[in-house]
Chains A and B, each alone.
Chain A
Amino acid sequence: MRRRTPQIRKVVGYIVLVGMLLIIIAPFYWMVATSLKGNLSIGNFPPSLYPHHPTFYHYARAFTTYGFGVYFRNSVIVSVIATVVVIVLAALASYAIARLPIRGKAPIMVFLLAISTFPQVAVISPLFLIMQGLGWLNSYQALIIPYVAFNLPFAIWVMRTYFAGIPKELDEAARVDGAGVLTTVFRVIMPLATPGIFTGGIFTFVACWTEFFFALVFNSSQNFRTIPVGIALFSGQFTIPYGTIFAGSTVAVLPIVLLVLLFQKWVVSGLTAGAVKG
């Protein structure tokens, strides 16, 4: 009796997992399948469950007619720069909080956590007016700077935990040897905290890659749209080109899926350490 309980639990576990994975994958399958269908079969009912005559027509259209390449480039530029800046600034701040004798650490951490979930709508109109005043509407910095600010708190939160876990003797030794604080951070601490840095980096990158509200308000002109805004505006006044939308979406999902699959362990361990252990 007692023996069988773990078995049952395992079976139930498998059922839950398989069910969940199916529910997660099915919509993705439908998206990719639709992107490969011709226009005539996209509006069919009953729908064909797989593309009978797969075509890359929509992919070609996304890049030629709809300028998806530009959106993709903009997303890469904005997300990569914002992520790098976040990592550097967060490394400095995290080290200060984790190691250096400054006051008010707890309030700072609470403040950071509060900021990281602040509704964007609270700052949108002043930021808009400021950007307008600076002539920054439709520019990369119009997105990079807010993205840095909104993602720093979480990155600091995660990286501080990692830094705190590194034996103090290491950086004390480095400093006794005469290394400055900056050298210590970048040469000694950061290499040891790679998982934490990756976690902070991936979270920032994903957040920038998917952000919509700021991008819509600040950068809605054709040349500065990021992928989310570009795809949201694919629809015409009277048309929704589902095939093209899903072709673009599939392309947009790929890099980030690869990134997450590659760094899967760090993402999970980062959450473990950063969000819960404290």
Chain B
Amino acid sequence: MKRTTTIALTALSAGVVLSAGLTPTFLTSTKQPAHVSAPAAARRASGVTTIVWAAGTISGNGLRQDMVNHFEKLHPTIHVKIVQEPSNTNTTRAQLVSEISGGATSPDVYMGDVIWPGQFGSLHLALPLSQHLSKSFFSRFAPGLVQGASYKGVVYGAPFFQDSGFLYYRKDLLAKAHLPVPRTWQQLMHDSLVLQHKHMVKYGFVWQGASYEGLTCDWMEYLTDAGGQVFNKAGKPVMNSPQAVKALTFMRSLITSGVTPKDVITMQEPQAMTAFNDGQAAFLRNWDYAWTNSQTKGQSKVIGKVGVVPLPTFAGHAGTGYATIGGWNLYVNPHSKHLAADLTFINWMTGVQGQTILATKASEIPTNAAVQRNPQIRKLNPVLSIVSKTHLIARPSQTPQYPAISLAIYSNINAALAGQVSVKQALQTANSQIAQAANKSGL
């Protein structure tokens, strides 16, 4: 059943491509740019294909329409209609799950979280892109991203923009106290204590410690840096390791030492950001957007006083720490009736032109490796200039059970941070709950 549908879809898309007379390069193996044949096709084609793109707001409202306008100019036979996704990721997911699982043909293309491929792949909510696009298409992306968009060896999403954790710091305070920008976690703790001791700032370091997905992100960074893993190579949960104990003990010590306020166990991004923007904290762990956010008039008191570096590492390690991968992919609805147009659209959006617009106008991190490396782009803002230095780590999301696994992680880590249970106890419980979660479905 599944296979015949896929074949039918492939045949259908091939038919559409042929009849429309446009042959996007990435469907074949020629190296000619995709847009070359489009104007010719425009003249020949009798009508315009309209595809619906469901997308969340990307840093400001105008950007999506801007990109679409550019795309439509190059592809006059394709009209892209933007549909607003809810701003809340889980609500977006709920909406897409219910629509697409019921067979809706719209939206044709949708923006979705990087952690969705496991679930969306297994529920057939996303088109297996790697069955429709050549290998060369995927070579444009920065390393690690394609694997993150895959489930069981099949690629379901085209990375659209990347995100990861960074360390934001108050350069004015560090300069005044003659302290170095921390390269290790221990240094960060020391810097904070000095600044707090001198009453230069109320809190040292704020981050995301609330019981929610964001804590899983933060946790992955400490865990990986300490040398630990959630699953080992054989797929067995191994989160009660000595390395995990080291990571969690350190996180807890941030709170017990007073470097991090104990409120951190209720902090998500907005609360941590507000504390930092209000000048109450010297260090902040946050995503890409925090740079622009901290430099926006009317919502920040620390404009011009902020620096950004890759996250620190544990003392004794060389280089930088790890940063959890976030960001968004473009997925194609498997029921879409305009497959060729969908793929053309994705090709342009992740191509050099689309990604350049994304980086320049929205200061989002491009997924296209060539654009990411471009010195012009890297000059745009400090975050873009250090992207290539970060070590990325993906959350263990290559399974449909990821939501339950993440729940097991963040609820137990949160309990340990709150001091309700011991570090060892929390990790033990987490590990057994992860094992349980990985084995069942649904609830």
> Could you tell me which A residues sit within 8 Å of B by CB distance?
38-40, 43-45, 65, 128-129, 132, 137, 216-217, 220-222, 232-240
Chain B residues with Cβ below 8 Å from A40 are 298-299, 301
A221-B83 Cα distance, complex, nearest whole Å? 8
A17-B102 Cα distance, complex, nearest whole Å? 53
Interface residue total, chain B, C-beta cutoff 8 A: 31
Contact across chains for B270 and A217 when beta carbons are under 8 A apart: no
Nearest B residue to A128, CB-CB: B98
Report how many A-B pairs have Cβ atoms within 8 Å.
59
Task: Determine if B89 is an interface residue (Cβ-Cβ < 8 Å).
Answer: yes
Task: Determine if B273 is an interface residue (Cβ-Cβ < 8 Å).
Answer: yes
Q: Mark B244-288, 1 if CB is under 8 A from A, else 0.
A: 000000000000000000000000011001110110100000110
A132-B91 Cα distance, complex, nearest whole Å? 18
Q: Which has the most chain A C-beta neighbours within 10 Å: B98, B273, B286, B301? A: B98
Nearest A residue to B202, CB-CB: A45
* 8 Å CB contact of B104 from A132, A216, A233: A132
Chain A residues with Cβ below 8 Å from B89 are 237
Given A132-B102, A221-B83 in contact, is the A237-B88 Cβ separation under 8 Å? yes
Q: Which of B37-90 contact A (CB under 8 A)?
A: 56-57, 61, 83-84, 86-89
Contact across chains for B99 and A44 when beta carbons are under 8 A apart: no
Chain B residues with Cβ below 8 Å from A240 are 270
CB-defined A-B contacts under 8 Å, sample of 19: A38-B298, A39-B298, A40-B298, A44-B278, A128-B102, A129-B102, A132-B98, A132-B102, A217-B94, A217-B98, A234-B87, A235-B270, A236-B57, A237-B56, A237-B87, A238-B269, A238-B289, A238-B293, A240-B270
Shortest 6 CB-CB distances between A and B: which pairs?
Answer: A43-B274, A238-B269, A222-B84, A39-B299, A236-B87, A132-B102
Given A39-B298, A240-B270 in contact, is the A235-B84 Cβ separation under 8 Å? no
B269 to chain A, nearest CB (A): 4
Chain B residues with Cβ below 8 Å from A132 are 98-99, 102, 104
A71 to chain B, nearest CB (A): 12
Chain B residues with Cβ below 8 Å from A221 are 83-84
- Other 11 A-B pairs with CB < 8 A, given A40-B298, A220-B95, A237-B87: A216-B91, A220-B91, A222-B83, A232-B88, A233-B91, A235-B88, A235-B270, A237-B89, A238-B287, A238-B289, A240-B270
B163 to chain A, nearest CB (A): 10
Chain A residues with Cβ below 8 Å from B86 are 220, 233
Contact across chains for B87 and A233 when beta carbons are under 8 A apart: yes
Given A132-B104, A237-B89 in contact, is the A43-B277 Cβ separation under 8 Å? yes
A44 to chain B, nearest CB (A): 7
A240-B87 Cα distance, complex, nearest whole Å? 10
B157 to chain A, nearest CB (A): 17
